[in-house]
Amino acid sequence: MDDQLSEHTRNILGLQLPTDPRWVNLAEIKMEEILTDHAYCEQKAATTCISLIQKNPEKTLLVEELSPIVTEEWGHFRMVLSELKKRNLPLGRQRKDIYVNKLIDFQIKGGSPTERFLDQMLIMALIEARSCERFKRLSEGLEDEYMRKFYRKFMESEAGHYTLFITLAEHYIDKKIVRNRWAQWLAFEKELMDSAEVRGDRIH
């Protein structure tokens, strides 16, 4: 399974370092915390897409493509809320997302509007790619068959979101520039994942 996952992440998502296999075992022990964190991840994805639309109303394709993503991500948020309710669990409080905060720190500071826009799109692509990879881990590694199927649905959706953000970036910016910066993001994310603590209470 690990070899297949590694091939999947390299060929489809481009990620350079698969999730540590121990993460699934830790996540299964803390499933209620994973669900809480997952719910907020979906919520933030929806609100970030809204923000991108608000900041770029002149980019017609972006507005048209991200509008349904807002609806989809909010639907995912409601799905996770429903799962928490089945377990008689409250949503819980949002936690600090160390992974995303470190990605934000890597964004170009004070660059041109084009550079800032590119990094905004690529950070979203990277978060979606890693989420997809994590959901794939859960869909294959959890002992609970119901939860494996639950996360299979999210995995399939996030893979499409990752490609959309790359495609949108390449629509507005020269493809070579996008690919060069994407390579830098992937290299940074590999270092980030390699040095991160393996903990089971976070999606990222």
Q: Domain map of the chain by residue range?
A: 23-195
Distance CA 159, CA 170 (A): 17
Q: Name residue, tokens 């048209």.
A: 64
What is the model's pLDDT at position 199?
Answer: 86
* Average pLDDT of adjacent 10-residue blocks, the chain of 204 residues: 42 78 92 95 97 98 97 96 96 90 93 95 94 93 95 85 92 95 96 89 90
Distances 193 to 26, 98, 198, 204 between C-alpha atoms, Å: 16, 11, 9, 9
Distance CA 143, CA 102 (A): 32
What is the model's pLDDT at position 13?
Answer: 63
Please say whether the structural domain 23-195 has been given the CATH code 1.20.1260.10: yes
